[in-house]
Amino acid sequence: MKIEIKEENVNETEVVISCRRMDEKILRLRDYIANFGSKICAKSESGIEHVSVSEIYYFETVDNRTFLYTEKDVFEVSMRLYELEEILDSRDFFRISRTQIMNINHAARFKPEINRTLTATMENGEKINISRKYSAEIKRILKESSEVL
């Protein structure tokens, strides 16, 4: 891939991707650039805030409402989990149960439980349960990733 950076007197940074054919890789690259340093609009007790994606620990749906958890705070977001899955990078954010999406970059430990689920301990010490179905998927991704390395 050829990367060219031009320094010009422009008002807004513009990224142009020139490719022979638009495939999945290109679409992922587009999404990555689009979400680079992106923020999610969330509601807290003090009002509307823009939370950086990299700060998010996990999302959770409770009673049809979606909440966003950071290290110390909880916010409410207007989007549903499936909508969030579409805009977030699938290599950082993993579905871990029917009601939760986790940012793997903030997970500190994974512990297997007797019922074949996993308990993820986050960097802030919070523990979240990864359901049986999704824990198998996460284990597979981690193992495949280590084989590539």
Partner 1 sequence: MNEMKRMLEWFRNVTAFIYAWLTLLLVIQANVSNEASLSAAVLWDLFVFSALTAAGFSVIFTKAIIKKLSFIGRLNCMMIYFVGLEIGFFCKIGLFTTYGSLIEWLIFFGIIAILYALCLVIFGIYSRRKEREYTGLLDQYKIKREKCRDE
Chain residues in the site for partner 1 (CB under 8 A):
91-92, 104-105, 107-116, 118, 139, 141-143, 145-146, 148-149
Q: How far is the CB of 109 from partner 1 (least distance, A)?
A: 5
Q: How far is the CB of 46 from partner 1 (least distance, A)?
A: 30
Partner residues linked to 95 by β-bridges? 101
DSSP string, 37-50: T-EEEEEETTEEEE
Q: How far is the CB of 29 from partner 1 (least distance, A)?
A: 11
**Residue 56 CB neighbours (<10 A):** 26
**Residue 88 CB neighbours (<10 A):** 20
Q: Which is nearer to partner 1, 59 or 93 (CB)?
A: 93
**Phi-psi map region of 64: left, alpha, beta (phi>0 left; psi -120 to 50 alpha):** left
Q: Which is nearer to partner 1, 66 or 131 (CB)?
A: 131
Smallest Cα–Cα separation from 80: which of 54, 62, 93? 62
Q: How far is the CB of 141 from partner 1 (least distance, A)?
A: 8
Tokens 């992106």 belong to which residue? 38
